[in-house]
């Protein structure tokens, strides 16, 4: 059975062979079978050494210190820890976020609002970007947290996290600035030492060629004083995330992080080439782009487009030779229009005889994959119009 062409990297990237090998080697090494928290024998020491080495490699991806990395099961848990950990126990804390955030952020903020927090949800501009000025104008005396993504998971738009952080710091440096970097970590250079202010960064390994089920946060020294644990049962990860560490997954993420740092420039050049190939071959397909085609405004590995003359379900049926998404992976099972695209369109629904499709690609995608995918799209549209 021939597998479809995989163009859904924003949902999850393929795991790199080096990361997969590191995981298998860790699982099969008898010396690493111990619990990393066991400090009374060699098995625990060896596992702990492997975790420490991987922690340093993950930190290096962000030019952070290893001690600032806290491991979680992924970005969803990390986002929950960041938002709930900052706000819990405070009286009427004010949170600022946006309407185009991932549900792991939006729903967590809404949960806090149901439990006494004040919540401001900003609207993006027509490119899906939250402007620094809109953030600054929303800050109040009781604002404790600003939570925004770096790269949007549906349209790829960049938020200027450096400018936003600088404005926050200038207005009130006691506000925690949380950046959801799930779609940018490992793909875009994030040097936290050169940025004006980022207090918390959250990420998932499976978005940058590592394994599923592992991710984490990077906390500034300031944020360490602001975040409280939301789960209990141990002292692991400075008591912020108790539970036995998954040595093999952490090692796999460390390997993926090191590889991404080494290949970041080449990976970016590759996705730029793939995006241009996509644009060049889409001329006759009758599409409009939800993603801004200016590479400075959007990450080139994510292209969201609106295809005329076909409904989403029909497109997915006719275009089955290609694995793409009609929304984010977390929302693809729902039939309603994407809330992200509705926000960008100022609440207006799309034409019912059109389909919104997210194409996302990366390191292992070839130009032939892209041109063949468009060939299948052309055939699908012709089949529907016959």
Q: Which two tokens stand for residue 26?
A: 């860790």
Give bridge partners of residue 95 from the DSSP assignment.
Answer: 119, 145
Give bridge partners of residue 288 from the DSSP assignment.
Answer: 306
Residues 6+ apart with CB under 8 A from 359: 7, 278, 302, 303, 304, 305, 324, 373
- In angstroms, the CA 31 to CA 41 distance is 11
Q: Pick from 317, 303, 320, 313: which is nearest to 353 by CA?
A: 313
Residues 6+ apart with CB under 8 A from 97: 105, 106, 109, 119, 120, 121, 122, 146, 147, 148
φ/ψ of 2, rounded to 5, equals -80, 130
Q: Which two tokens stand for residue 344?
A: 């960008």
- In angstroms, the CA 37 to CA 355 distance is 50
Of residues 87, 285, 330, 386, which has the active-site annotation? 330
Would you call 109 a catalytic residue per the annotation? no
Rounded to 10 degrees, what is the CA torsion of 166, 171, 176, 178? -40
User: CB–CB of 135/96 below 8 Å?
Assistant: yes
Radius of gyration of the chain (CA): 21
The residues assigned a catalytic role are 330
């Amino acid at each position: 059975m021939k597998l479809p062409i995989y163009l859904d990297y924003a949902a999850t990237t393929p795991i790199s062979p080096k990361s997969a090998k590191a995981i298998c080697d860790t699982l099969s090494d008898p010396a690493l079978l111990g619990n990393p928290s066991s400090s009374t024998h060699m098995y625990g020491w060896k596992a702990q050494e492997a975790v420490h080495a991987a922690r340093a490699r993950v930190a290096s991806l962000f030019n952070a210190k290893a001690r600032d990395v806290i491991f979680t099961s992924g970005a969803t848990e990390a986002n929950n820890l960041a938002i709930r950990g900052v706000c819990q126990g405070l009286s009427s804390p004010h949170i600022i976020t946006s309407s185009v955030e991932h549900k792991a952020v939006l729903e967590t903020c809404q949960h806090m609002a149901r439990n006494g927090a004040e919540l401001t949800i900003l609207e993006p501009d027509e490119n899906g970007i939250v402007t620094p000025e809109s953030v600054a104008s929303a800050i109040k005396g009781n604002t404790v947290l600003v939570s925004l993504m770096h790269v949007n998971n549906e349209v790829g738009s960049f938020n200027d996290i450096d400018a936003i952080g600088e404005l926050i710091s200038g207005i009130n440096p006691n506000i925690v600035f949380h950046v959801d970097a799930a779609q940018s970590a490992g793909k875009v250079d994030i040097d936290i030492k050169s940025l004006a202010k980022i207090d918390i960064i959250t990420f998932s390994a499976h978005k940058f060629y590592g394994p599923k089920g592992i991710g984490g946060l990077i906390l500034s020294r300031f944020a360490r004083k602001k975040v409280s644990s939301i789960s209990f049962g141990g002292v692991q990860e400075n008591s912020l995330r108790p539970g036995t560490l998954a040595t093999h997954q952490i090692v796999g993420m460390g390997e993926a992080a090191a590889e991404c740092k080494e290949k970041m420039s080449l990976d970016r050049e590759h996705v730029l080439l793939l995006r241009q190939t996509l644009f060049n071959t889409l001329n006759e397909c009758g599409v409009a782009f939800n993603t801004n085609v200016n590479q400075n405004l959007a990450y080139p590995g994510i292209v969201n487009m609106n295809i005329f003359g076909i409904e989403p379900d029909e497109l997915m049926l006719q275009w089955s030779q290609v694995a793409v998404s009609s929304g984010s992976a977390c929302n693809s099972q729902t039939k309603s229009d994407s809330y992200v695209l509705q926000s960008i369109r100022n609440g207006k629904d799309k034409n019912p005889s059109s389909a919104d499709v997210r194409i996302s690609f990366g390191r292992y995608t070839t130009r032939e994959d892209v041109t063949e995918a468009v060939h299948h799209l052309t055939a699908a549209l012709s089949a529907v119009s016959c």
